[in-house]
Amino acid sequence: MITGFGSGCVGVAGRTIAEGGSHSLDVPFMRLRSRNVVHRVLPKPLRKFSPARPAALLQRFAKTVNADRILCHYGTVAVEYGEAWNLIDLPLFVYFHGFDLMFDLREQDEARKPIHSPDYRDRIVRLSERATFIANSEFSRGRLIEAGVRPEKVKVNYLGVVAGEPPIERHLRRANILFVGRFVDCKGPDLTIKAFNILRQKGVDASLTMIGDGPQRERCLKLAQESDFASDILLPGSENHATVQTRFAEASMFTMHSIKGPFSNQEEAFGVAFLDAMIKGLPVVSGKSGGVPEIILDGINGYLVEPGDIEGHADCMARLIADPDLAKRMGRAGWEMASSKFSQENSTRGLLSVLNRL
C-alpha cells in the first residue's frame, strides 16, 4: 500500500491483507490520510510498464491529494517500483513489517524455494539511498543494517493496539491456554502442542486452543490427533474477530513457541498477537526469538525460553497455572506495557514524528 499526504495528516488504525511473495499476511498497519479521506494508489506494482508510467501515476496522485511525501508499506512493494521513485521529487518512506526483510526467506516445504529474487537484498540497499526506512522493531532494524543499509537511514516505530480497560479477574475452573496466529514454522505451532503434551504428562490439568490457519496446520492436526490428550486440544481454524476476542476473555494465558523457522528461515520480527494478549491482561510464554524479547520481558509480563526447549516451555506454563497470583501480576504488567509503550496512540505519534523529520 502506498499513501501520499500533506502536513495536515492524522493517524488512524486499520488492517489489510498484504501480498508478500507467494503468501498473504493479515497484519496491522498505520494508514495516513489527508484531512478528509484515506488515499491509496497502485496497490499492486505495475511490473510491465517502464519506470515513467508508475512515476507519472504517482505524481498525479500526489498532486490530487496535495501530498508532500510518500509512505510505502512493505519493502517488496517499494522495490517493484524501482527507478520510478527517482523520477518523483517527494520524500519517500518505506515501512518494513517482517517477511520483507527476511532476505533468505523460503517456502515452507521440502523444496524450500526462495521467496525473494536473488537481487532483492541489493535492491533494498540501493533503495535506502533514496528513502528513509521504518522498521517495526529493533530486531528488524538490525536485519536491515546487517544487509548493508546505513544505520542512520533506519528508524524504529512499534505497531500498537487500542488501549482497553484494566484486565478483569478471571475465575476459570480450568486453565485454558491460547494460541492465535498463522500456522507457520516461525511461530512453532507444532512445538506448542509438544510442550502442552509434556505439561499434561506432568499431571497439570489444562486445555489448549489454537486459532488460525497456514501451511503447518495439517501437521498440527495430526500431532493433536495422535496426542494422548487429543480431547483437550482444539484447532478450529480461522475465526472472526468477535469470536477471537471471546477466546482471549476465556483464556488463562497466551503462548506461541517463536523460533527461527526450520523451513522458511523466518523469525518473528515483532508479533502483534502478543500485544493482543497483553491488552487483555494475559501472561505470555514464548520462545526467545526475533523481536519477541522487545515485547515480552522474561519474568515481568511472561516467560521466554530458548527456541526448541519444549520442556522449559511446559515448565513455565505449569508455573503460571500453579500460581494464579503470579499469572495475575504478569498479566497486569503486560496490560500496562501494551497500554503505554505499545498503544496505538503512541505508535501513531511515533510514526508521524518520523515522517515529519525531513
Query: Is the same domain home to 263 and 335?
Result: yes
179 within domain boundaries: yes
Question: Given this model, what pLDDT does residue 49 score?
Answer: 54
168 within domain boundaries: no
Query: Is the same domain home to 87 and 219?
Result: no
Question: Given this model, what pLDDT does residue 284 score?
Answer: 98
Contact between residue 285 and residue 255 where contact means Cβ atoms under 8 Å apart: yes
Q: What is the pLDDT of residues 24-35, one digit of tens each?
A: 333 333 344 433
Number of domains in the chain: 2
Query: Is the same domain home to 274 and 186?
Result: yes
Domain membership of residue 276 as a residue range: 175-340
d(CA 110, CA 263): 7
Residue 348's CB is within 10 A of a number of other CB atoms, namely 19
Question: Given this model, what pLDDT does residue 170 score?
Answer: 73
Residue 64, phi then psi, degrees to nearest 5: -60, -40
Query: Is the same domain home to 60 and 186?
Result: no
Question: Given this model, what pLDDT does residue 24 score?
Answer: 30
51 within domain boundaries: yes
Query: Is the same domain home to 267 and 310?
Result: yes
Contact between residue 302 and residue 337 where contact means Cβ atoms under 8 Å apart: no
Question: Given this model, what pLDDT does residue 160 score?
Answer: 94
Query: Is the same domain home to 148 and 202?
Result: no
Residue segments in the chain with a per-residue pLDDT below the cut of 50: 4-43, 45, 47
Give the cell for residue 59. 505524481
Query: Is the same domain home to 141 and 19?
Result: yes
- 233-237 and 206-211 strand pairing: parallel
Half-sphere exposure of 199 (CA within 13 A, CB side): 32
Question: Given this model, what pLDDT does residue 58 score?
Answer: 76
Contact between residue 6 and residue 44 where contact means Cβ atoms under 8 Å apart: no
Residue 73, phi then psi, degrees to nearest 5: -85, 135
Q: What is the pLDDT of residues 131-174, one digit of tens each?
A: 999 999 999 999 999 999 999 999 999 999 998 788 877 767 78
DSSP string, 303-349: EEE-TT-HHHHHHHHHHHHH-HHHHHHHHHHHHHHHHHTTBHHHHHH
Residue 101 amino acid letter: L
274 within domain boundaries: yes
Residue 337's CB is within 10 A of a number of other CB atoms, namely 19
Contact between residue 268 and residue 248 where contact means Cβ atoms under 8 Å apart: no
Contact between residue 211 and residue 180 where contact means Cβ atoms under 8 Å apart: yes
